[in-house]
Structure 1
């Protein structure tokens, strides 16, 4: 059933949202309401205002009809997009994986010389939602600000293609990228992986299982344990974009309970993470997935992996896709892009001796 706001053209709503975010801080605070505090953290005004707008929009991430959820995610992303990033070219590709092809999109910043690094990126969406289009803006930003080529992967989605289809596609896409890096204009020795949420899970799985390890891993609030339930799942169960019921719905559609302890589903449960590539892992303070992401970073550090753990304690799940709204969202994405650029320039040696907060 369509929502009343679905009748309003996305361009009109996008203009209204951008106008709202340009208002003076006192006016935006009046609209957003009293500042939210939880677990010793203060929610950023930009995030609180977005949550207030989401209530007006009336749509959540999960719906009994997965196709409705997919359409709503596509629409919601158009509502918050900023101005297009200039100077980044794109090319549609298909990557082979057995009897089917994987759609992909290559982003190349203007003037980037051949032999530059390549980031293989997996979009988020709970393994059910998301597409090349929902993460177009983010990949443009990463390409431009990190000075890398970005290969965005359209892996198969559940429930039509349950676990391990997404993992199979993620591994096949990465292996193809490494073998054919030069045809993309990239350095085969400087192929990194990245992803957000479910995509962060896939990037972590690829980092652990690929025969040839990535040069670097960029993980935004990754799903790392589909079998567990940590404190942040209760603290931020509702009201902060991603909810605990969303996670239950995503997991149930993606993978049966009896397979959730497999390392290709829950990389946090791996016995040995010592071969993992150098990593920048960003979490959000007001996110049900916060604790499992941070536990994964500590596991990496304990295994001797160079890792930077960055908690954006005032942000919510999904902030990487909200950079078009500016402010704290844009700053967090820019920081991640800088970490990726620096990590690849240093050959992945971003940190030694444990997580940095």
Structure 2
């Protein structure tokens, strides 16, 4: 089974969330006393909401994830996500389910998941199969609960958030194989899940965006029905090289180069894995025939350049792609729907692109 554990916020966490949520409704200029002088890098100006948030996070920091115990690092991620999640969005259905993928294969496992639906009934809505971020090591369906609620509510579609198995308990390519198996299950059991079999999208942020991209490549290569759309937020696409955005934003903008180095070391088995397209989808030799995509990157993100490179490779191969850089935002802005209106706007824009592609 996965490493998912329920998170219970402390009183301090609840107070921090209340402050962050209230700050999210304030105009940017009013946050300057907390945020400090505007940060300008590579022709971009950091959003004052995120700049203020980074200062709060630094004051509460227990150290870099790679310097903590695994259990503590996972708890810190859950706490950080909770504090910027904003007011809870009520949906008609939010229920924990199990994807029965185990069977007789010892390498397979039943996977917990969470189903979100804006309607209570049998209406077959489009669905987004979502894979959370966290470097294949951290994160959970809880840490991304607010994101999935927002997408389901704004997009009027169902979301199935998958609790795939993570490292170091399960090394590469387990997460990629779980993601592929989860998509196949939803595709092949659309009727019983109450989803439209012709409108099944995959998506995710960071490591989850990596997994969504891999699912699209793997299903195409197998000659089977691929997802109908891919929604890639700040995706990690290349473990074999570092880009200029790592030099510009590798420290001080939430996700650090040190974090990424640790995530990758923890996830992969050897340097040979870095060259495998299931770990580095940007290294695939063929980008044709992939589903339409929306790729959203953050201007102040070490993964910015590799995410945009992936979008360009698909577009050059004839795939319909919308690429959007949000120049004022940090990694992973999709979790911060309660901290800044720009995060909500970025999510809404992405959902709009998905609705247009799925034509509903």
Deviation at 1:7, TM superposition (A): 7.1
Pick the aligned partner of 1:201 from 187, 206, 210.
Answer: 210
Deviation at 1:88, TM superposition (A): 3.9
Task: Provide TM-score, normalisation by structure 2.
Answer: 0.91
Alignment match, 1:276: 290
Matched, 1:218 2:231: yes
Number of aligned residue pairs: 341
C-alpha separation in 2, matches of 1:20 and 1:267: 38
Matched, 1:90 2:116: no
What pairs up with 1:76-225 in 2 under 5 angstroms? 76-98=80-102, 99=106, 100-110=109-119, 114-210=123-219, 211-225=224-238
Query: Match of 2:239, SS?
Result: coil
Alignment match, 1:353: none
C-alpha separation in 1, matches of 2:243 and 2:28: 35
Matched, 1:316 2:330: yes
C-alpha separation in 2, matches of 1:88 and 1:315: 31
C-alpha separation in 2, matches of 1:313 and 1:250: 25
Alignment match, 1:46: 49
Contact 2:24/2:341, CA 8 A, preserved across alignment: no
Structure 2: runs of 5+ lacking an equivalent: 1-8
Query: Match of 1:310, SS?
Result: strand
C-alpha separation in 2, matches of 1:126 and 1:205: 15
Provide closer, same or farther for how the CA distance between residues 259 and 136 of structure 1 changes in structure 2, counting only shifts above 3 A.
same
Stretch deviating more after TM superposition (40-49 or 118-127): 40-49
C-alpha separation in 2, matches of 1:268 and 1:25: 36
Matched, 1:231 2:240: no
Query: Match of 2:112, SS?
Result: strand
> Using CA pairs below 8 Å that are at least 6 residues apart, which structure has the higher relative contact order?
2
Alignment match, 1:57: 60
Alignment match, 1:240: 253
Query: What is the CA deviation profile of residues 285-337 of structure 1, one whole-angstrom value per residue up to 9, with x for unaligned ones?
Result: 00000000000000001110000000001100010000122311111111111
C-alpha separation in 1, matches of 2:344 and 2:317: 32
Task: Provide TM-score, normalisation by structure 1.
Answer: 0.92
Stretch deviating more after TM superposition (155-164 or 55-64): 55-64
Deviation at 1:261, TM superposition (A): 0.4
C-alpha separation in 2, matches of 1:70 and 1:244: 18
Deviation at 1:340, TM superposition (A): 1.4
C-alpha separation in 2, matches of 1:341 and 1:167: 26
